[in-house]
């Protein structure tokens, strides 16, 4: 229908514009601004009306009718959420811009200003303020076919809403872990991969069900006109770079960019300006995609913060999910996750930083100690901590506000929010200085070393009070504004927002700086604004005097001077029958409109004065917008410093939150060592403990000591006796410690963990044709391939998804490999108590060491009570438990008594046979004995 329609030579201009945009953006849903509505036409209208559940209508165009649908402007965010976040569709936003023809008539130019995708959200109301919205680009070595070839990949990812930009090298093996850790909303790949479904990168991306986009990276021989777009970014394409070599590419930078990257690299040993060829390729992919979609909102990007893989604990994708670090597997949301249990942050940006720290803990002892020193400092000063938290609660999300200005968005209210936040930064600095001064006066021997970490953090902040003061002097706060909206000449009647008259345009333009945001630019900001405001004030006074004079002269109390799109400047009588007599007799008043009770006249003196008011009003509005643009540029120039302070505030928020958490949950500061020690006395699971406390129960702590003589623990015991909890809390304590937090224990000494792996809990993956056992084996194989001596591994029930014999064989092989090849710290929980015999468990040796000297044996148990009931002890003790007590769990689950009785008989018969292996005849005999017949 749309193609036939497009060939009609009599199509309206709007229809032709829509057809052109549909052709230019065929992969997008197109929304076109028409007055106060966003509209869709042709075949897309049918689809959009179905997706949004709105009415499908039609419109007569070109001699026929075409489908159309639309909705008011104020519903845009609600519908974008459905299209972009729920249905993962791309939306091209076509806006309208008024312009004048040579004859003075107003027309509209409509153009697509931005394509909204899941990974390029800026300031939409449905954007989660507590999570980063990352767009990730993955570059692949240029090799033929689908073979892996060079294992090195390049990654670059950005949060468009905050401007946080990162890059790093990776590999095919680590790619899935990186994707889960980063948590991108969208992944960008080279278009050459689109038809190569068997390529390892495509298979990995498919595993995580991410939104995937493909783009052709820009190169120097591109003939398309991208020069203007490319120049909007300070990240050059590879052909623009200097010092190109096989090893790396050194990208140029400006002074302000350099400063920001050095700040971002405070804790990274890598060079902030040196990027590998793979990283540069990923950066090129990412920026090409941004230019293609942000269009007129493309920001000037800083150089990406280069991540050093060696500086962060690597947590594999299965572990991030299984340990429920960011979200709960059971409920699918934050509730029940580690993040929800430890979150005490006040700011939205601080919460985002906390999530990054938990998913990517540090492996730098210096960095960890610096964070923990801050936590200890605030922990010991509850009143000081409370004061800082009160100040933090008033701060806005400065990072996202700054990014809005860099993207050409943002309004005066954002200016005021930024000013308030800058003032909060100053108050925090003054409060810190005051606390330091008071403590030095109270203590005779003042310990300066206690303040080292806080001083280092505060010294990174830049003083920006001058910028805040300039904004405060320019932008009037609505709470303090004396602006009277009654001065607006908007008509009380007959107003048509679609009218294209000059008066209506002037009125709309004049209202821009005054009532759109409820904020105006103060006249004192510039001499021009002051003069225009004085002129406008004088004209308003003339208008008031003229109105009063006419009321008295013509004995017409209901007379007012008005303007409207349809009638222009006119004299309005609200009670015409009473007040029109003298006006009718005066030739200076020409009747132009009349209703049953009102009447309007043209009066030349008011027309002249009204025109002056409108001319001065539009000049004032233009001056105010120019003043606002000046302020926007000043903010953009200070963007690196604003972001720097925002990052300091985020770190302050997280460390204060850790201190509050330590107070709430009775945590202790761990000692971090550069060895393979893991010694936690009476450790607790932070999430489980919180759940138990909520229900009025107490958590049973456990001590775990993974030392060189016994860095591998085999744990046996009944179902539901806490084995899995011990495994998980061991991993979570390592994550918390290396994130900089205190830990739930009586004491803790931990050697740095470079990689954390888990094989706990599993479910089938039928979509990819994988049984539960296959999923378990894939996870086990990955751990055995990748674990290092500095890694920490927790494994639960390896081999339970198959026959007992196969399961024991796989479990023993796994233990053998972890001890002899990986040589890592590990906890291995199992119900195969036969493994203890295979491993040569000896009760008379310390911790039961047998075949492997560095393997120790621990177990949990339950206590039988006199009344036939039982209770779990949950506490680990040296030894082996050879009874899983599975029937106890079945009984607790409510299994019918008759079924429980049969199970007990079977178990008793199997034990009575005392056979080391059960043959078919023995088992058949037991079955016949217990059969109903």
**What kind and span of H or E run contains 64?**
strand 64-72
Q: What is the pLDDT of residue 914?
A: 58
Inside any domain, residue 321:
no
Inside any domain, residue 603:
yes
Is the backbone of residue 615 left (phi > 0), alpha (psi -120 to 50) or beta? alpha
Confidence check: pLDDT of 620 > 80:
yes
Q: Are 429 and 458 a contacting pair, CB within 8 Å?
A: yes
Inside any domain, residue 108:
yes
| pLDDT tens track for 9-24 | 456 788 888 999 999 9
Nearest to 511 by CA among 629, 630, 631, 622: 622
371 lies in the same domain as 460: yes
Confidence check: pLDDT of 270 > 60:
no
273 lies in the same domain as 363: no
Average pLDDT, the chain: 82
| pLDDT tens track for 122-165 | 988 899 999 999 999 999 987 544 445 557 899 999 999 999 99
What token pair was written down for 319? 């572990």
Q: What is the mean pLDDT of residues 444-472?
A: 87
459 lies in the same domain as 542: no
Q: What is the pLDDT of residue 206?
A: 86
Q: Are 752 and 674 a contacting pair, CB within 8 Å?
A: yes
Is the backbone of residue 104 left (phi > 0), alpha (psi -120 to 50) or beta? left
Confidence check: pLDDT of 485 > 90:
no
What token pair was written down for 859? 């177990």
Handedness of CA 293, 296, 297, 299 (dihedral sign): positive
Nearest to 86 by CA among 131, 37, 126: 126
Distance CA 131, CA 136 (A): 15
Distance CA 13, CA 11 (A): 7
CATH number of domain containing 292: 3.30.420.110
Query: pLDDT band at residue 867, thresholds of 50, 70 and 90?
Result: low
51 lies in the same domain as 141: no
231 lies in the same domain as 353: no
Q: Let me know how long the chain is.
A: 933
Is the backbone of residue 296 left (phi > 0), alpha (psi -120 to 50) or beta? alpha
902 lies in the same domain as 887: no
CATH number of domain containing 14: 3.40.1170.10
Residue where a domain terminates, one of 289, 311, 333: 311
| pLDDT tens track for 774-788 | 888 888 999 999 999
Strand partners, 476: 520
Q: What is the mean pLDDT of residues 456-476?
A: 90
Handedness of CA 325, 329, 330, 334 (dihedral sign): positive
Inside any domain, residue 348:
yes
Range with the lowest mean pLDDT among 286-290, 462-466, 709-713, 880-884? Answer: 880-884
Q: What is the mean pLDDT of residues 856-863?
A: 84
410 lies in the same domain as 373: yes
Range of the domain at 368: 343-464+640-665
Domain count, the chain: 6
Residue 295's CB is within 10 A of a number of other CB atoms, namely 17
Q: What is the mean pLDDT of residues 164-171?
A: 92
Range with the lowest mean pLDDT among 142-146, 172-176, 433-437, 583-587? Answer: 142-146
Residue where a domain terminates, one of 116, 148, 180: 116
Is the backbone of residue 397 left (phi > 0), alpha (psi -120 to 50) or beta? beta
891 lies in the same domain as 914: no
What is the share, in percent, of the chain residues with pLDDT greater than 70? Answer: 82
Distance CA 439, CA 383 (A): 13
Distance CA 641, CA 624 (A): 26
The helix/strand/coil state of 287 is helix
Q: What is the pLDDT of residue 241?
A: 31
Give the CA-trace dihedral at 831, 833, 836, 841, to 10 degrees.
Answer: 120
Query: pLDDT band at residue 269, thresholds of 50, 70 and 90?
Result: very low
CATH number of domain containing 793: 3.40.50.300
Confidence check: pLDDT of 853 > 70:
yes
Q: Are 294 and 409 a contacting pair, CB within 8 Å?
A: no
Query: pLDDT band at residue 502, thresholds of 50, 70 and 90?
Result: very low
Confidence check: pLDDT of 820 > 80:
yes
Nearest to 469 by CA among 623, 633, 631: 631
Inside any domain, residue 127:
no
Q: What is the pLDDT of residue 915?
A: 54
692 lies in the same domain as 833: yes
| pLDDT tens track for 299-334 | 888 889 888 767 899 999 889 989 999 888 766 677
Q: How far is CA 515 from CA 480, 533, 615, in A?
A: 15, 16, 18
Confidence check: pLDDT of 847 > 90:
no
Inside any domain, residue 284:
yes
Q: What is the pLDDT of residue 744?
A: 96
Q: What is the mean pLDDT of residues 625-654?
A: 93
Residue where a domain terminates, one of 53, 86, 116: 116
Q: What is the pLDDT of residue 215?
A: 92
582 lies in the same domain as 514: yes
Inside any domain, residue 475:
no
900 lies in the same domain as 890: no
HSE on the CB side for 831, CA within 13 Å?
A: 17
Highest mean pLDDT pick, 142-151, 181-190, 824-833: 181-190
Range with the lowest mean pLDDT among 362-371, 484-493, 511-520? Answer: 484-493
Q: What is the pLDDT of residue 27?
A: 92
Range with the lowest mean pLDDT among 231-235, 332-336, 530-534, 539-543? Answer: 231-235
CA 638 to the chain's CA centroid: 24
The helix/strand/coil state of 411 is coil
512 lies in the same domain as 454: no
CATH number of domain containing 410: 1.10.1420.10
Inside any domain, residue 375:
yes
Which residue is listed with tokens 């303040």?
451
Handedness of CA 331, 130, 727, 313 (dihedral sign): positive
Q: What is the pLDDT of residue 481?
A: 52
Q: What is the mean pLDDT of residues 761-781?
A: 71
């Amino acid at each position: 229908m749309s193609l036939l329609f497009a060939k009609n030579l009599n199509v309206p201009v709007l229809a032709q514009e829509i057809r052109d945009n549909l052709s230019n953006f065929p992969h997008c849903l197109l929304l076109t601004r028409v007055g106060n509505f966003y509209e869709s036409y042709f075949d897309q209208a049918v689809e959009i009306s179905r997706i949004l559940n709105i009415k499908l209508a039609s419109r007569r165009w070109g001699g026929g009718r075409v489908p159309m649908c639309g909705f008011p402007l104020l519903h845009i965010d609600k519908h974008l959420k459905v299209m972009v976040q729920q249905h993962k569709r791309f939306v091209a936003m076509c806006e309208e811009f008024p312009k004048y023809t040579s004859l003075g008539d107003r027309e509209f130019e409509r153009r697509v200003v931005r394509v909204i995708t899941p990974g390029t959200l800026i300031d939409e109301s449905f954007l989660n303020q507590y999570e980063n919205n990352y767009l990730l680009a993955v570059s692949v070595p240029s090799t033929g076919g689908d073979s892996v070839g060079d294992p090195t990949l390049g990654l670059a990812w950005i949060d468009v809403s905050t401007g946080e930009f990162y890059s790093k090298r990776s590999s095919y093996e680590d790619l899935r872990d990186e994707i889960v850790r980063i948590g991108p909303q969208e992944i960008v790949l080279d278009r050459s991969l689109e038809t190569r479904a068997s390529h390892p990168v495509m298979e990995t991306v498919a595993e995580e069900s991410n939104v995937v986009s493909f783009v052709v990276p820009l190169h120097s021989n591109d003939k398309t006109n991208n020069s203007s777009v490319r120049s909007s970014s300070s990240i050059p394409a590879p052909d623009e770079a200097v010092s190109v070599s096989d090893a790396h590419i050194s990208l140029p930078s400006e002074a302000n960019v350099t400063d920001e990257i050095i700040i971002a690299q405070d804790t990274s040993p890598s060079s902030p300006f040196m990027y590998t060829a793979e990283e540069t390729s990923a950066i090129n992919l990412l920026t090409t995609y941004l230019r293609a979609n942000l269009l007129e909102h493309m920001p000037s990007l800083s150089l990406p913060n280069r991540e050093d893989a060696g500086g962060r604990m690597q947590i594999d994708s299965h572990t991030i999910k299984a340990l429920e670090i960011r979200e709960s597997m059971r409920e699918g949301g934050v509730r029940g996750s580690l993040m929800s249990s430890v979150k005490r942050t006040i700011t939205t940006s601080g919460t985002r930083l906390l999530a990054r720290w938990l998913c990517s803990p540090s492996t730098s002892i210096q960095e960890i100690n610096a964070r923990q020193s801050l936590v200890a400092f605030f922990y010991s000063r509850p009143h000081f901590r409370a004061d800082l938290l009160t100040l933090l609660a008033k701060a806005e999300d400065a990072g996202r506000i700054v990014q809005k200005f860099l993207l050409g968005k943002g309004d005066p209210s954002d200016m005021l929010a930024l000013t308030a936040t800058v003032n909060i930064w100053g108050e925090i600095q003054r409060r810190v200085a005051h606390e330091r001064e008071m403590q030095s006066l109270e203590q005779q021997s003042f310990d300066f070393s206690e303040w080292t970490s806080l001083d280092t953090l505060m010294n990174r902040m830049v003083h920006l009070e001058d910028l805040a003061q300039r904004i405060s002097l320019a932008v009037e706060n609505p709470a303090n504004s004396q602006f009277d909206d009654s001065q607006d000449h908007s008509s009380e009647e007959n107003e048509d927002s679609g009218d294209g008259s000059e008066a209506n345009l002037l009125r709309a333009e004049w209202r821009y700086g005054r009532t759109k945001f409820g904020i105006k630019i103060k006249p004192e900001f510039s001499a021009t604004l002051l003069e225009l405001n004085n002129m406008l004030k004088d004209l308003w006074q003339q208008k008031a005097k003229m109105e009063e004079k006419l009321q008295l002269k013509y004995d017409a109390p209901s007379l007012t001077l008005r303007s409207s799109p349809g009638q222009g400047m006119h004299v309005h009588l609200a009670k015409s029958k009473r007040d029109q007599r003298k006006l009718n007799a005066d030739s200076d008043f020409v009747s132009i409109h009349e209703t049953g009770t009102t009447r309007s006249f043209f009066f030349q003196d008011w027309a002249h004065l009204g025109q002056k008011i409108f001319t001065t009003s539009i000049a004032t509005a233009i001056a105010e917008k120019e003043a606002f643009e000046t302020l926007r540029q000043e903010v953009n120039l200070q963007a690196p410093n604003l972001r720097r302070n925002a990052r300091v505030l985020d770190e302050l928020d997280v460390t204060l939150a850790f201190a509050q958490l330590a107070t709430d949950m009775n945590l202790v500061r761990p000692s971090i060592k550069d060895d393979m020690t893991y010694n936690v006395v009476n450790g607790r699971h932070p999430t489980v403990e919180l759940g138990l406390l909520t229900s009025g129960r107490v958590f049973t702590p456990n001590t775990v000591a993974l030392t060189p003589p016994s860095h591998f623990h085999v744990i046996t015991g009944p179902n539901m006796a806490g084995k899995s909890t011990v495994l998980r809390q061991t991993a979570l304590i390592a994550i918390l410690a290396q994130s900089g937090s205190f830990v739930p224990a009586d004491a803790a000494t931990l050697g740095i963990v470079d990689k954390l792996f888990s094989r706990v809990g599993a479910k089938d993956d039928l979509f990819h044709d994988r049984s539960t056992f296959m999923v378990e084996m894939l996870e086990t194989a990955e751990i055995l391939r990748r674990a290092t001596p500095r890694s920490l591994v927790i494994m639960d029930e390896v081999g339970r998804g198959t026959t007992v014999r196969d399961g024991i064989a796989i479990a023993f092989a796994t233990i053998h490999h972890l001890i002899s090849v990986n040589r890592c710290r590990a906890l291995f929980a199992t119900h195969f108590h036969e493994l203890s015999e295979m491993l040569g468990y000896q009760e008379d040796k310390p911790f039961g060491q047998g075949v492997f000297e560095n393997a120790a044996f621990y177990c949990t148990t339950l206590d039988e009570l006199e009344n036939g009931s039982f209770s779990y002890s949950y506490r680990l003790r040296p030894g082996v438990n050879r009874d899983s007590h599975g029937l106890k769990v079945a009984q607790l689950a409510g299994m019918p008594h008759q079924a429980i009785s049969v199970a007990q008989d079977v178990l008793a018969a199997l034990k009575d046979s005392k056979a080391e292996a059960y043959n078919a005849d023995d088992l058949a005999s037991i079955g016949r004995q217990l059969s109903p017949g």
